[in-house]
Amino acid sequence: MHQDLPERLLQRAAAPAVNPRIPGIRSLHSPGPTRVPDAVMHAMQRPMMDLMDPRVGALIRACEDGMRALLAAPPDAHVLFYAANGHGMWEAVTANLSARGRTLLMAGGGHFSDSWAMQTEVLGPATGTTVQRTPHAEGHPTDVAAIEQALRDDTAHRIAAVLVVHTDTSSGITSELAAVRRAIDAAGHPALFVVDLVASLAAEPFAMDSLGVDVAMGASQKGLMCPPGLGWVAVNARALAFAEQHAGARFYWDWVRRVSDLQYRKFCGTPPLAHLAGLEAALRLIDEEGLANVQARHARLAGAVHAALARWAEAGAVRPFCKVAAARSSSVTAIEVRAGIDPEALRTVARERFQVAIAGGLGPLAGRVFRIGHLGDMNEATILGALAGVEAAMVVQGIPFGDGGVAAAARHLVEATGGRSAPAQEG
């Protein structure tokens, strides 16, 4: 029947479609990228503008002001944007805070603090900067006592900054920033306080000014509900002065160069207009819901996942990776599996058969955990659907789990949203 068709066309016809239609939607529970709301997508579809159009300046100012408010930044803080992901923003910090003969103290906290340290160490020979890491116990948050001791030991004050990842996406562990601030103060050390908020902004409480954070950085693809590609950093006057006086050669990443009223200098070239339009829309959504409500929603949905996991863990095949309940993230939950269980096979079944996309383990946790993201544009129905999809995938894979996980999550949500209604009166 197909004798006249070239062989390559026959092969193409027989191959499965790369993007077959999915009825409904695939439930995205990666901890990044997260679901992009329709309002953000529509905003990004607006036509490009002439760079001298006053609307471009208004858009940039709206994003700067919105981020400054979201961060509760001090009046002297500058918000700078980059066409970059989180790793790019790490390099922005390194480029501006590295100085010959100085040290950057990396607070051990998991895969992402290790990755940030390794990236900074690669640049060390060129900048004359060393990296010092504090020890970290797997499954636990950052060791604040180790930070304080390292600062006390640094009597020459060679440590220029303490770098902390607020939420380690790979392990689902959130460290307490107020405790780090107290440790720096207790040591009487002048080090700058730098925080990675990539996985925590808008999910966990954060106030740059009251925490005494000098530099906060992050990216667009998680709690900000935008596509990947837009990085940001907030820099107070103290950190900007350090960069101006001490840092070595840099250009694209240079904070001092970007602090300008000129749009071209703000972005070291053409601004990423579509991403800025999306961010403006996302910030408006957060403002309309109210930041306190956004954070409460994240805590509520995380609690539902934790309630389900507590029931699943009763069979002994899965358990929370985070060993400290108070440090379990509002953004993502890492679930450790028993030896012999393949979390990647579980992910494939969940995604392809039940339309629930979850994340796998990274770095030393590869093959040991799977992760359920619960941040960004998400609600009670989406989290319950995700938990049901994961349960279905565990059934397919023959992974034993305790009964009643979804029901426990539902009960948690009932209580967290006001409890049960009073029974109706008869007659």
**How far is the C-alpha of 358 from the C-alpha of 378, rounded, in Å?**
14
Pick the CATH number of 291-416 from 3.40.190.10, 3.30.1450.10, 3.40.630.40, 3.90.1150.10: 3.90.1150.10
Lookup: tokens for 112: 């992402």
For residue 13, the model assigns a pLDDT of 47
In order along its 427 residues, the chain shows pLDDT tens digits of 445 555 554 454 455 566 777 788 889 999 999 999 999 999 999 999 999 999 999 999 999 999 999 999 999 999 999 999 999 999 999 999 999 999 999 999 999 999 999 999 999 999 999 999 999 999 999 999 999 999 999 999 999 999 999 999 999 999 999 999 999 999 999 999 999 999 999 999 999 999 999 999 999 999 999 999 999 999 999 999 999 998 788 999 999 999 999 988 999 999 999 999 999 999 999 999 999 999 999 999 999 999 999 999 999 999 999 999 999 999 999 999 999 999 999 999 999 999 999 999 999 999 999 999 999 999 999 999 999 999 999 999 999 999 999 999 999 999 999 877 666 555 4
CATH 3.40.640.10 domain span(s) along the chain: 38-286
Q: Is the dihedral of CA 307, 312, 313, 319 positive or negative?
A: negative
Return contacts of 17-24, CB within 8 angstroms, 24+ apart.
22/355, 24/355
The edge-to-edge listing of strands for the beta sheet with 356-360 is: 27-29, 356-360, 369-373, 332-337, 318-320
CATH fold for domain 38-286: Aspartate Aminotransferase; domain 2 (3.40.640)
**How far is the C-alpha of 351 from the C-alpha of 389, rounded, in Å?**
9
Q: Is the dihedral of CA 306, 309, 310, 313 positive or negative?
A: negative
**How far is the C-alpha of 120 from the C-alpha of 127, rounded, in Å?**
10
CATH 3.90.1150.10 domain span(s) along the chain: 291-416
For residue 25, the model assigns a pLDDT of 84
The edge-to-edge listing of strands for the beta sheet with 192-196 is: 78-83, 230-235, 215-219, 192-196, 159-165, 103-106, 130-133
Burial class (CB within 10 angstroms; exposed 0-12, middle 13-18, buried 19+) of 423: exposed
Could you write out the three-class secondary structure of 156-198?
CCCEEEEEEECEECCCCEECCHHHHHHHHHHHCCCCEEEEECC
Look up residue 269 and give its amino acid: G
- Given a contact cutoff of 8 angstroms between Cβ atoms, the answer to whether 22 and 355 are in contact is yes
Q: DSSP character for 32?
A: S
- Given a contact cutoff of 8 angstroms between Cβ atoms, the answer to whether 196 and 90 are in contact is yes
- Given a contact cutoff of 8 angstroms between Cβ atoms, the answer to whether 120 and 106 are in contact is yes
Q: How far is CA 401 from CA 138, 310, 324, 390, 413, in A?
A: 24, 10, 22, 11, 21
User: pTM for this one?
Assistant: 0.93
Lookup: tokens for 348: 């494939």
Place of tokens 């609600």: 379
**How far is the C-alpha of 62 from the C-alpha of 149, rounded, in Å?**
42
SS3 state of residue 18 = coil
For residue 195, the model assigns a pLDDT of 98
